[in-house]
Chains A and B, each alone.
Chain A
Amino acid sequence: EVVLTQSPGTLSLSPGERATISCRASQTVTSPYLAWYQQKPGQAPRLLIYGASIRATGIPDRFSGSGSGTDFTLTIDRLEAEDVAVYYCQQYGYSPPTYSFGQGTKLEIK
């Protein structure tokens, strides 16, 4: 089973700054099978990025994903107060089928 490790655990930045969140996999991940989710307090996770770099419908272009192999990155430009959330990377494995998640990165806005 692929284990996803995110860093940092917590990120505290000011409005307008850039956030960079890393997701490292224990084995090579097929890029189409890597996604990112945003979970705001008291809400369910929301799909942000799929296929490692494709924004989901309605997601602002301030959010971008990149990476391949075992190293993936979520970047959030021009931080806003509404970006306060926990961000998760997620990988799909097809044999056997499974979805696995990173432990999450908490983003705080100063």
Chain B
Amino acid sequence: QVQLQQSGPGLVKPSQTLSLTCVISGDSVSTHSGTWNWIRQSPSRGLEWLGRTYYRSIWYNDYAVSVKGRITITPDTSKNQLSLQLNSVTPEDTAVYYCVRGFWIGGTPTLDYWGLGTLVTVSS
């Protein structure tokens, strides 16, 4: 059973950096059969995929156009975790942030394990 334990501050000031960590148990961040994603949810934007990291002999990252240039997702194999950094935040970045495993079943992509979510509020 995969479990994703998220942590990080719930309040970030405008223009600063949002940082979250997701510790993985029951799987490896460097698995060749999965990806590790960050997805956020807000009343105004709904569910929004932000990006992912994954290992296929080397590390890859993909980011959503909406946050490209502000986002970095970094794996840490020594701690079996991944982190999210989102720079220059504004109140529009206020949302519940989820760490999510992507897994391909028979050639079909799924988002099968979700963390509990972290509410991050951007406010001074």
Q: How large is the interface on B (under 10, 10 to 19, 20 to 34, 35 or more residues)?
A: 20 to 34
Q: Which residue of B lies closest to A101 (CB)?
A: B47
Whether the pair A56, B112 counts as a contact (CB closer than 8 A) is: yes
User: How many residues of chain A are within 8 Å of chain B by beta carbon?
Assistant: 23
Which residues of A, 36-56, contact B by the 8 Å Cβ criterion?
37, 44-47, 50-51, 54, 56
Residues of A near B107 (CB, < 8 A) are 32
Whether the pair B49, A32 counts as a contact (CB closer than 8 A) is: no
Whether the pair A44, B115 counts as a contact (CB closer than 8 A) is: yes
Most central of A32, A44, A96 by chain B CB within 10 Å:
A44
With the chains together, A75 CA to B111 CA distance in Å? 20
Whether the pair A44, B114 counts as a contact (CB closer than 8 A) is: yes
A residues contacting B by CB (< 8 A) are 32-33, 35, 37, 44-47, 50-51, 54, 56, 88, 90, 92, 96-101, 103-104
